[in-house]
Structure 1
């Protein structure tokens, strides 16, 4: 009997889910997969880049923005693990015991495994080994998600495939041009991007472009007029609404072709109509 199609994404902060894989999450939810998202933190170290919001308490604001983004993408509400955003650079929170940089990674892994047991994903998504731009929390999310995937091989729920969100060299150079995406400033594409032969899957997300864009801009504190993300040119932005790319982090089943255009290709899964989502498997 086919298992219900299920996908689990693991990221660090509200908004991490949108830019690099929001279209993919929306696409599989629209097809009838159960799509869940783990967020390690509530983005406590973020800044409000939208003056129209006025004075806001950043953690609950960003948590609500993520809930709104998930609803826009058509996926399940986020699962917060309630670690703290570590910040980065001169704002690195070395003294916060709940910051992910200070948390026990094996405990994080155990908690992700609990979600795996509850949601039965065949597919997992998380950051690439460089965390897109080296944010400490992104690197930890990559580490603990990869560890949970590996450990699931000994568990009742064995995740079949792990994919990393990646950017090609061409994509990264485009985001560094004009008014550059600030977090990529000064970074070498040969380190933080991947060569084309590393891309294991290219997912056409044009049917979900409007949802992806709306979900991204649900994160108002991060995409306001004072942000570089929210003020990218259409030339920079448009390709992000066409295709999303992934490298392969792990695999336990054969694939019918490589590179892939469907993360679930070859798996014996059932995509259920949206009206049936949330029903017991």
Structure 2
């Protein structure tokens, strides 16, 4: 059995991006660790936040609740502030992840990798799927930390399959539905969503874990807009959107494997 570290930008990112793989890995006996770069300070503020409670405190509690759903053994934090979306004034916050030196953040992450003797590290693709500054920074810090770690972990990049999203959107339009979202359109950084299928290496079927994915999302109940949208999806739509998780892995031969990345050898 191995230790797998999932590195995410904000609490709740794990629920919509890797909760299926995290649940599967923990069920199979692997030690699952999630590391958050930020506290999600600029997320949605819930109506029931207590006068003495900060949003970051609430989101830490929610992250722990999500971990119980996925079977995650440890929740760790790098300690940076949420940077907000591209162009927000929070991008300039000296405490933000966006402003953190890559080497400094990588040292913090590498320390956790060493503590855990991590065999696998999961980060994001080169533009964090949709260009959020913190997601982009996760990519750079992931590879820098892997280089610093005493045991060089196998690195995978979580992403979205742009071709599948495009086909799904078109199918919905063909069925007469109004679909305003275009995965080929400019996202937060001006690039399209995710990566084309030709650049992907793993398609992991997590359809058996859809209830756990929903549970992880539900744990982040403070983020009403996003979580409410996901929870309102009909079962068939939810399964299509979250039943497969996609990853890129540098150094693998071209071509996407429909399988479980933990069945491949780890270093």
TM-score for the superposition, normalised by structure 2: 0.83
1:136 corresponds in structure 2 to 133
Tell me, what secondary structure is at the counterpart of 2:261?
Answer: coil
Higher relative contact order by CA 8 Å / sep ≥ 6: 1 or 2?
Answer: 1
8 Å Cα contact 2:6-2:122 kept in structure 1: yes
Decide whether the 8 Å contact of 2:66 with 2:217 is kept in 1: yes
Q: Does 1:265 align with 2:263?
A: yes
Q: Distance in 2 between matches of 1:162 and 1:212?
A: 23
Q: Kindly indicate whether the alpha-carbon contact (under 8 Å) linking 1:70 and 1:215 is maintained by their aligned counterparts in 2.
A: yes
Task: Summarize the alignment of residues 1-281 of structure 1 with structure 2, pairs less than 5 Å apart.
Answer: 4-48=1-45, 51=47, 53=48, 57-89=54-86, 91-152=88-149, 155=150, 157-159=151-153, 161-173=154-166, 174=168, 186-187=185-186, 191-224=192-225, 228-249=229-250, 259=257, 261-267=259-265
Show structure 1 runs of 5+ residues with no match.
270-281
TM-fit CA distance, 1:151: 3.5
The structural deviation recorded for 1:15 is 0.8
Cα deviation for residue 187 of structure 1 reads 2.8
| Offset at residue 44 of structure 1 (A) | 0.2
Any gaps of 5 or more consecutive residues in structure 2? none
Cα distance in structure 2, aligned partners of 1:14 and 1:104? 21
When the two structures are aligned, how many residues end up with a matched partner?
256
Q: Which residue matches 1:274?
A: none
Q: Distance in 2 between matches of 1:131 and 1:11?
A: 10
Change (3 A) 1:167 1:151: same
Q: Deviations over 1:113-159 (max 9, x none)?
A: 1111111222111111121211000001111012212344xx3x121
Structure 2 vs 1, CA of residues 95 and 120 (structure 1 numbering), >3 Å: closer, same or farther? Answer: same
